[in-house]
A and B are shown apart, each in its own frame.
Chain A
Amino acid sequence: MADIQYSWPDRDSSKVIGGRQIRLDGMAKSTGAAKYAYDINLKNMLVARALGSPHAHCTIKSIDSAQAEKVPGVVHVHVLDHAKPGREIRWQGELLVIVAAETEAAAMEGVSKLRVEYEPLEVFVDEFNLEAAKKAGRTSKDGGKVQLEKEPGDDEDEATFADKELERLFKQSAHVVEGFYGIDAITHCCLEPHGATVYWDNDQLIAYLSTQNVSGTDEGFANDLKIPADKIEVRCQYVGGGFGSKFAPDYWGTAAARIAKATGRPVKLMLSRDQEFKLGGNRPSAYLKVRLGADKDGVVTVWDSDHWSSPGADGPGVPQGVIPYVFAPKNYRRAVTKVTTNNGPARAWRAPNHPQGCAITQTAYDDMAARMGISSYDLFLKNLGTDDSPGVAGAKPSVYAAEMEIAARLIDWKAKWHPHGKGARRGDIVDGLGMSLHTWGGGGHESTCTVKIHPDGGVESFCGTQDIGSGTRTVCAMVLAETFGLGVDAIRINYGSSRFPVSGPSGGSTTVGGVSESHRRAGQEALAKICEMVAEKLGVPAAELIADDGRIKARGDAKKSVAWKEACAMLGMKPLEVTATFRPSRNKSPLSDTKVGGVQMAHVEVDTRTGLIRMRKFVAVQDMGLIINRRLAESQIYGAVIMGIAYSLFEQRISDPASGAFLNADMSKYNLCRLGDIGEIVVEMYEPESERSRGVIGLGEPPVIGPGAAISNAVCNALGFRVPVLPLTPQRVLEAIKNNAGRA
């Protein structure tokens, strides 16, 4: 068989790809038929609940579960290893003891009867306060980088040279801005908490896990339970949100398996809402002090920053690599300090580090525009550079420039923009415009797919991927439908089991790239085999055959064709099975690519007496290579923007400075955006042939990066001064107004 040239059909001949196919499991989700891990009910199942540490920092002195065991309905009490007497607990909510019972109410009552003695230890959670963190011994250097156009002489000390050179560059700058910017920690707040429903079938473990990583979590169970991975099946058809926090079984997942083993009964263990807030993942905070200098045109040529970031008790903070964000000034020094606190450890959050990098640095660029009295649009444009000599990282300057033009048109930038703080006032209300740029990789992950074609014409695929809400199922079906010239309904997609061929975790916007690669490859290979059979019958070379409209046809000769079913019948008694794998490599695949760019603009109103902010309009222009499903892509962007509005205006983890408690760990106190808060959102997908021809690139993350900077810049444009730290709560806006008395 000839080597297959993997390719996508061009724009005009695509029948399915690029269309607006509705989500295949939409009705199941909209009518409650979709079953999530939380919804799986098994016969004879126990429901487990856990006691979380009330203290943010303590040692466990003793645990007494006698009273809990006596609660009617309680069947099993499981003390976690890390909670044994003498062990140190470093954040509030850490699970200590799990109680499994006949009902959820009995389990919760059992939990309330556990008697644990704690030795409280000193607590530190005030990550905003660098001086306090230093005093408490909670800081450490976390990397940094210096890059200067000039090099030190042979005998010069590098650090001293950098000091001197930076001073010289600042002196030489036409404009210098000094500023402070920040963004608080937020949590993932998945609506379906982390957890699993599990049972043992003899020595086989079946785990319905709420996960973004079906193919990778069986190993996690195996390592922890010390059993072979082939004895484990992880299943997940639906997951109620992950956003980067659901890649592993977690210790509570394996504890559920242990309890199921010990009791011989299925067990459901989901985190409670407050535990979900405290343990389910959070995004590191970041605060930055910076000085930047620009030439007379506003091109930033020197950047000197120091930032600190807290991932909570463990994990990486925001690294220097995203400072400044997208923009790449020729000279910079960037230093990082990590602050560890008694908060739960951070986890990857949708586009890890980019939203923070964007929010704390593109605000500084905007302040440069304000200092110079010019439009942020003009300053951003000047700093893009050219495709030959880019001033930005990620996407090409020409892509950003084209997107800026589109966004400006959609938000009517020219007519609506006014110099910072100089807009018209309507009662106590002022309005403003702001913008931001973002980039993301989004290259496909490794993915294997088996396509099975039945002699009756039926088509199925098997792939160990998952649909986290981004529409994986629909995308896979569309790719195969396009490949075989069939309707989407004719394809059966099987995913959500670790027994299926391995596919990567859904993180980093890698899924659509990965699964469209593996499905297209397996599909094209299978089609080639079908065509070989048909070729003989029609007397047309296989290479001249195409699949279209439910038939295999000779290109350019409509009379020579057979129906798809007829073609498949030639398989005889045996179905055809083809497996293909995509492995990302340095060589560009013809089907997918990496690196996108996007531009976002916000129009806000600020009430200068209450500090309230309302969204008027938000425009998101996004490049994503080849678009498989326009409708789903739009939904992703809408969703990302809305999440962005939430972290810009509402959302923050509030830790009590005195006790370290996570004070707002419930839905009514952890403010999120509601339907009435979003204003008008306009999404525009940038898909010129130059970008489409690059192939598929993931989209889940990029549009969530920019809202922080765009909204903060719009507020600054409205007020005439910066509210430095996100979220922009009324409290913070009022404080900024006070600090800039008379200027609002």
Chain B
Amino acid sequence: MAAATAVQTQLAAQQGTASKVISGVTKVTLTINGKEQAVSVEPRTTLLDVLRYQLDLTGAKPVSMDSSSGASTVLVDDQPMSASSLLAVACVGKKIRTVESLGGDKPDAVPAAFVAHDAQQCGFCTPGFVVAVRAFLDKHPRATEEEIRKGLNGNICRCGTYANIIQAAIAVVKGGK
């Protein structure tokens, strides 16, 4: 018998059977920003809907049907992904971090640099961009300006904050965070 996957294990614990197929509304636990969160989802529920409607974590934004804008970017096991095209059930057992985890009393260096370099106007694209920059710089902490210009093209900003975002990213690299 194959090893059970995370979602199966959770359901088995709830229902006493190792059900392979999930349908209808199901209770699952997601690990979000370091906290275990019990949510109820259908298979079709996206991670973005869970974050926004059940947990009131509205930093990740719904912008496109096709995950091409980057506005819903979150970190899944430290990889940047679009919450709008992830099924919530597929995220059980994974470590999810949203932009909200970069805020709080001691904000992360990336949002701080966004503020210092005014890398936001209307701000609707900003949370997705902040997470994308965080992920990019985690992977390329010494990125050059050229690499930054090549590396941050998964997000769209309609207000045109790109020039400021480039400066913010350069500042984070310089600050070594």
Tell whether A pairs with B.
yes
A268 and chain B: residue at smallest CB distance: B53
Report Cα–Cα, A191/B71, bound state, in Å.
9
A347 CB, nearest partner CB in chain B, Å: 15
Report Cα–Cα, A586/B37, bound state, in Å.
61
Is the pair A667, B115 in contact by a Cβ cutoff of 8 Å? no
List, in ascending order, chain B residues with CB within 8 A of A440's CB: none
Report Cα–Cα, A709/B126, bound state, in Å.
30
Per the 8 Å Cβ criterion, residues 655-704 of A in contact with B are 666-668, 672-676, 678, 681
Report Cα–Cα, A189/B159, bound state, in Å.
10
- 0 or 1 for each of B70-99: is its CB under 8 Å from A? (1 = yes): 010000000000000000000000000011
Report Cα–Cα, A468/B49, bound state, in Å.
26
Is the pair B149, A676 in contact by a Cβ cutoff of 8 Å? yes
Is the pair B153, A674 in contact by a Cβ cutoff of 8 Å? yes
| In the assembled complex, B39 has its CB within 8 A of some CB on chain A | no
Is the pair A469, B123 in contact by a Cβ cutoff of 8 Å? yes
List, in ascending order, chain B residues with CB within 8 A of A636's CB: 121
- Beyond A30-B111, A105-B49, whether A273 also contacts B60 by CB under 8 A is no
Report Cα–Cα, A39/B55, bound state, in Å.
11
Is the pair A190, B166 in contact by a Cβ cutoff of 8 Å? no
Range of interface residues on A (Cβ < 8 Å): 35 or more
Is the pair B161, A635 in contact by a Cβ cutoff of 8 Å? yes
- Beyond A32-B60, A272-B65, whether A240 also contacts B100 by CB under 8 A is no
List, in ascending order, chain A residues with CB within 8 A of B157's CB: 191, 642, 675
Binds B, one of A20-28, A314-322, A407-415, A484-492: A20-28
A678 and chain B: residue at smallest CB distance: B162
Is the pair A642, B118 in contact by a Cβ cutoff of 8 Å? no
List, in ascending order, chain A residues with CB within 8 A of B68's CB: 666-668
Per the 8 Å Cβ criterion, residues 31-62 of B in contact with A are 42, 44-45, 49, 52-53, 56-62
Is the pair B159, A31 in contact by a Cβ cutoff of 8 Å? no
| In the assembled complex, A181 has its CB within 8 A of some CB on chain B | no
Is the pair B149, A105 in contact by a Cβ cutoff of 8 Å? no
List, in ascending order, chain B residues with CB within 8 A of A47's CB: 53
| In the assembled complex, B137 has its CB within 8 A of some CB on chain A | no
List, in ascending order, chain A residues with CB within 8 A of B160's CB: 638-643, 646, 673
| In the assembled complex, A36 has its CB within 8 A of some CB on chain B | yes
List, in ascending order, chain B residues with CB within 8 A of A189's CB: 158
- Beyond A27-B115, A29-B120, A31-B130, whether A240 also contacts B61 by CB under 8 A is yes
| In the assembled complex, B172 has its CB within 8 A of some CB on chain A | no
List, in ascending order, chain A residues with CB within 8 A of B153's CB: 674-676
- Beyond A32-B98, A672-B156, whether A238 also contacts B118 by CB under 8 A is no
Is the pair B163, A32 in contact by a Cβ cutoff of 8 Å? no
List, in ascending order, chain A residues with CB within 8 A of B61's CB: 38, 191-192, 240
| In the assembled complex, A470 has its CB within 8 A of some CB on chain B | yes
Is the pair A273, B58 in contact by a Cβ cutoff of 8 Å? no
- Beyond A27-B103, A105-B45, whether A190 also contacts B126 by CB under 8 A is no
B50 CB, nearest partner CB in chain A, Å: 10
List, in ascending order, chain B residues with CB within 8 A of A29's CB: 120, 123, 126-127
Is the pair B53, A104 in contact by a Cβ cutoff of 8 Å? yes
| In the assembled complex, A59 has its CB within 8 A of some CB on chain B | no
Report Cα–Cα, A646/B59, bound state, in Å.
26
Report Cα–Cα, A280/B58, bound state, in Å.
22
B62 and chain A: residue at smallest CB distance: A38
| In the assembled complex, A33 has its CB within 8 A of some CB on chain B | yes
Is the pair B115, A468 in contact by a Cβ cutoff of 8 Å? no
Determine which residue in B99, B150, B157, B163 has the highest number of CB atoms from chain A within 10 A of its CB, and name it: B163
- Beyond A192-B122, A643-B160, whether A667 also contacts B63 by CB under 8 A is yes
In-complex Cβ contact of B100 among A26, A31, A38, A672 (8 A):
A31
B32 CB, nearest partner CB in chain A, Å: 13
- 0 or 1 for each of A30-51: is its CB under 8 Å from B? (1 = yes): 1111111011010000010000
Is the pair B161, A639 in contact by a Cβ cutoff of 8 Å? yes
In-complex Cβ contact of A238 among B57, B98, B123, B130 (8 A):
B123
| In the assembled complex, A241 has its CB within 8 A of some CB on chain B | yes
Is the pair A36, B45 in contact by a Cβ cutoff of 8 Å? no
B102 and chain A: residue at smallest CB distance: A31
Determine which residue in A192, A641, A666, A678 has the highest number of CB atoms from chain B within 10 A of its CB, and name it: A192
List, in ascending order, chain B residues with CB within 8 A of A192's CB: 61, 122, 124
Per the 8 Å Cβ criterion, residues 114-172 of B in contact with A are 114-116, 118-127, 130, 149-150, 152-153, 155-166
Report Cα–Cα, A41/B55, bound state, in Å.
10
Is the pair A41, B58 in contact by a Cβ cutoff of 8 Å? yes
| In the assembled complex, B29 has its CB within 8 A of some CB on chain A | no
Is the pair B45, A239 in contact by a Cβ cutoff of 8 Å? no
| In the assembled complex, A339 has its CB within 8 A of some CB on chain B | no
Per the 8 Å Cβ criterion, residues 228-275 of A in contact with B are 238-243, 272-274
| In the assembled complex, B64 has its CB within 8 A of some CB on chain A | yes
Is the pair A30, B44 in contact by a Cβ cutoff of 8 Å? no
Is the pair A666, B64 in contact by a Cβ cutoff of 8 Å? yes
B130 CB, nearest partner CB in chain A, Å: 5
List, in ascending order, chain A residues with CB within 8 A of B65's CB: 272-274, 666-667
Is the pair B57, A32 in contact by a Cβ cutoff of 8 Å? yes
List, in ascending order, chain B residues with CB within 8 A of A41's CB: 52-53, 56, 58
- 0 or 1 for each of A432-457: is its CB under 8 Å from B? (1 = yes): 00000000000000000000000000
Report Cα–Cα, A514/B50, bound state, in Å.
41
B147 CB, nearest partner CB in chain A, Å: 11
Is the pair A23, B118 in contact by a Cβ cutoff of 8 Å? yes
Is the pair A32, B100 in contact by a Cβ cutoff of 8 Å? yes
Report Cα–Cα, A26/B63, bound state, in Å.
20
- 0 or 1 for each of A607-644: is its CB under 8 Å from B? (1 = yes): 00000000000000000000000011011101111110
B126 and chain A: residue at smallest CB distance: A29
Is the pair A103, B53 in contact by a Cβ cutoff of 8 Å? yes
List, in ascending order, chain B residues with CB within 8 A of A190's CB: 122, 124, 158
Report Cα–Cα, A304/B112, bound state, in Å.
54
B100 CB, nearest partner CB in chain A, Å: 5
List, in ascending order, chain A residues with CB within 8 A of B49's CB: 103-105
Is the pair B99, A191 in contact by a Cβ cutoff of 8 Å? no
A144 CB, nearest partner CB in chain B, Å: 35
- Beyond A29-B123, A33-B100, whether A675 also contacts B162 by CB under 8 A is yes
B159 CB, nearest partner CB in chain A, Å: 5
Is the pair A31, B125 in contact by a Cβ cutoff of 8 Å? no
List, in ascending order, chain A residues with CB within 8 A of B149's CB: 675-676
A-B complex: 10 closest residue pairs judged by Cβ atoms = A32-B59, A31-B103, A240-B124, A642-B160, A29-B123, A639-B160, A469-B122, A469-B121, A39-B58, A667-B64
Task: Please list 15 pairs of residues, one from A and one from B, whose beta carbons are closer than 8 Å in the complex, sorted by A's number.
Answer: A29-B120, A30-B114, A30-B130, A35-B58, A38-B62, A190-B124, A240-B123, A241-B122, A272-B65, A642-B160, A646-B160, A666-B66, A667-B65, A668-B66, A676-B150
Given contact pairs A192-B124, A643-B159, a sample of 13 additional A-B residue pairs in the complex whose CB atoms are under 8 Å apart:
A23-B120, A31-B99, A33-B103, A38-B61, A41-B58, A103-B45, A191-B63, A192-B122, A642-B160, A643-B158, A667-B65, A672-B158, A675-B165
Interface residues, chain B, CB within 8 Å of chain A?
Answer: 42, 44-45, 49, 52-53, 56-66, 68-69, 71, 98-100, 102-104, 107, 110-112, 114-116, 118-127, 130, 149-150, 152-153, 155-166
